């Protein structure tokens, strides 16, 4: 939610000749005045960042369908066979098509999905080359440059949403938007609740716009505020999950997980014996495949996959050769739709024995929530329903922001001698009216939040500086009041 209720301490709407005189303006409490002014500044100055985040996030929700349109030949097979060929043959075909690099992961295909063999090359950095193989014929269907399994189109839209293709510098925009989104949303709810309570409106008007308000700012406020109420839970979720992998707040979140031992547990890949490395013996599926730990036997992929299936790892899985020779390989479930499957096993590639196991059910609660939250934020957890909900949140947020700016414009002075392009800010002075005990509690809490969310803290300080400067300029421009002398007697 953006500017939920900019008018609490602003100049009231002029009454027409047919209206009854307006009752005196309600005296705003110091807390209400402070919250209203903070909400105003955040809405005006942070809303542009939220607009960009909403638009790029809306575009990202289309990526599953976009991948099917653009990369159908690579991702799917034209005809599903009776049973897949051995992985050794599929990996061998991928290696023949891509002689360079080391194999980092293999995702066996089933149904109409192709097998994905991913190769790492030093010149690609974080990105990889993924070769797509028909699991029923071992025919190579194509090759794409991927990023953690994402196609080029998904990667491009992901970078657009995260950093506007500006690298590390661009990540500041998305972190700033996520850092303020929860503040603006909760502040708007509180302000709307206070206004409804003061006017003794029914609870229904919290969730349904008051269409009897006529035209102008009151009707706009009704749509703005009630839409924001409906979006609040979703916006708080997007803010929290977005911050978990942001640059600065995300690092603090990670440090908190480490302090609480709440990370996803590591799985041991140590082996008591070091198997001999097989030599390359020729072409096709009979030769060794260069993996992360050096040259590995292609047939090991079938042994490791069979051991994982026997251990109960069903559905889509990802096989990762050992990072170094003499270590176990890992097999991880990669089904990100609800109910998710993220169990992992370590397997000795030589003998096919499971040497270690880590089940998602045993993860710490915070690790589970973080993993599920990220998948929901990306639109994967509940499939198409998840995508629709995210798209609705993005569109709703855009509407709320537009209504907020419209209220600001509608409240502008229109008299010939007082014309302005926008409405006046809410009155200042909330901090000065606060009880001492509130300041003694509120200031340390605000500092702590600013430390945990650095971009929030920095911009909050900037808003304070702007407000102080604006107040000083306003006082200088205010004409001095010259006392008039009393008229002489008998005049």
Condensed to tens digits (0 to 9), the pLDDT of residues 450-476 reads 999 999 999 999 888 887 887 788 777
Q: What integer pLDDT is reported at residue 472 of this predicted model?
A: 80
Averaged over 166-189, what is the pLDDT? 95
Of residues 2 and 264, more confidently modeled: 264
pLDDT classification of 273: cutoffs 50, 70, 90: low
Q: Is the pLDDT of residue 377 over 80?
A: yes
Lowest-confidence pick of 186-195, 209-218, 307-316, 378-387: 209-218
- Residue 6's pLDDT is what? 38
> Mean per-residue pLDDT for 147-170?
96
Q: Report the candidate in 144, 172, 160 with the shortest Cα–Cα distance to residue 60.
A: 160
Q: What is the pLDDT of residue 17?
A: 41
Determine the average pLDDT of the residues in 390-397.
Answer: 98
Q: Taking Cα atoms as reference points, which of 333, 339, 334 lies closest to residue 382? A: 339
Look at residue 88 and tell me whether its pLDDT is greater than 90. Answer: yes
Query: Is a pLDDT exceeding 60 seen at residue 259?
Result: yes
Q: What is the mean pLDDT of residues 236-257?
A: 95
pTM over 0.75: yes
Cα separation of 10 and 265, whole Å? 54
Please indicate whether residue 483 or residue 49 has the higher confidence score (pLDDT). Answer: 49
Which pLDDT does position 59 carry in this prediction? 97
Partnered with residue 129 across adjacent β-strands are 119, 145
The 3 state secondary structure assigned to 193-225 is HHHHHHCCCCCHHHHCCCHHHCCCHHHHHHHHH
Averaged pLDDT of the chain: 85
pLDDT confidence of residue 217: 85
- The SS3 assignment for 246 reads coil
The string of pLDDT tens digits covering residues 275-307 is 444 433 334 444 556 666 555 667 899 999 999
Q: Which residue has the tokens 């945990």?
A: 452
In the chain, DSSP finds a helix count (H) and a strand count (E) of 14, 10
pLDDT at 348 over 90: yes
Provide the pLDDT confidence category of residue 195 given band limits of 50, 70 and 90: confident
Instruction: State the burial class of residue 42 (Cβ atoms within 10 Å of its Cβ: 0-12, 13-18, 19+).
Output: buried
Give the separation between CA 324 and CA 318, rounded to whole angstroms. 18
Q: Which tokens is 419 given?
A: 């014309």
The average pLDDT across 314-325 equals 93
Q: What is the pLDDT of residue 282?
A: 36
Sequence-ordered alpha helix ranges (H) in 357-478: 365-377, 384-410, 436-452, 454-477
């Amino acid at each position: 939610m953006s500017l939920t209720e900019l008018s609490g301490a602003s100049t009231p709407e002029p009454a027409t000749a047919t209206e009854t005189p307006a009752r005196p303006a309600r005296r705003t409490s110091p807390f209400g005045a402070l919250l209203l002014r903070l909400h105003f500044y955040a809405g005006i100055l942070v809303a542009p960042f939220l607009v960009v985040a909403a638009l790029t996030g809306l575009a990202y929700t289309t990526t599953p369908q976009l991948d099917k349109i653009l990369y159908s030949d690579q991702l799917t097979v034209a005809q599903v066979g009776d049973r897949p060929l051995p992985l050794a043959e599929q990996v061998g075909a991928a290696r023949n098509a891509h002689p360079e690099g080391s194999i980092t992961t293999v995702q066996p295909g089933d149904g109409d999905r192709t097998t994905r063999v991913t190769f790492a090359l030093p010149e690609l950095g974080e990105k990889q080359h993924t070769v797509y193989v028909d699991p029923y014929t071992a025919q190579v269907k194509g090759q794409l440059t991927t990023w953690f399994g994402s196609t080029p189109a998904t990667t491009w839209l992901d970078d657009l949403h995260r950093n506007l293709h500006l690298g590390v510098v661009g990540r500041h925009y998305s972190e700033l938007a996520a850092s303020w989104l929860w503040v603006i949303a909760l502040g708007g709810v509180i302000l709307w609740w206070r206004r409804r309570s003061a006017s003794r409106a029914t609870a229904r008007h919290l969730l349904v716009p008051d269409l009897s308000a006529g035209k102008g700012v009151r009707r706009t406020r009704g749509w703005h505020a009630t839409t924001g109420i409906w979006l609040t839970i979703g916006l708080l979720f997007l803010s929290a999950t977005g911050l978990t992998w942001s640059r600065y707040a995300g690092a603090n979140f990670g440090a908190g997980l480490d302090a609480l031992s709440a990370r996803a547990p590591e799985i041991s890949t140590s082996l008591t014996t070091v198997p001999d490395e097989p030599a390359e013996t020729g072409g096709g599926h009979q030769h060794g495949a260069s993996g992360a730990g050096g040259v590995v036997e292609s047939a090991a992929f079938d042994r490791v996959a069979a051991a994982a299936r026997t251990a109960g790892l069903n559905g889509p899985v990802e096989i990762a050769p050992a990072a170094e020779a003499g270590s176990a390989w890992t097999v991880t479930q990669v089904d990100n739709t609800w109910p998710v499957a993220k169990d992992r096993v370590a397997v000795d590639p030589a003998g096919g024995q499971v040497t270690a196991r880590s089940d998602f059910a045993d993860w710490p609660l915070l690790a589970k929530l973080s993993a599920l939250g990220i998948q929901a934020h990306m639109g994967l957890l509940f499939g198409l329903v998840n995508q629709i909900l995210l798209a609705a949140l993005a569109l709703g947020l855009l509407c709320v922001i537009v209504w907020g700016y419209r209220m600001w414009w509608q409240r502008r002075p229109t008299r010939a001698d007082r014309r302005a392009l926008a409405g006046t800010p809410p009155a200042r002075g909330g901090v000065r009216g606060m009880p001492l005990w509130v300041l003694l509690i509120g200031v340390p809490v605000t500092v702590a939040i600013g430390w945990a969310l650095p971009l929030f803290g920095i911009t909050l300080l900037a808003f304070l500086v702007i407000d102080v400067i604006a107040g000083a300029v306003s006082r200088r421009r205010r004409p001095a009041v010259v006392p008039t002398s009393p008229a002489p007697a008998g005049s």
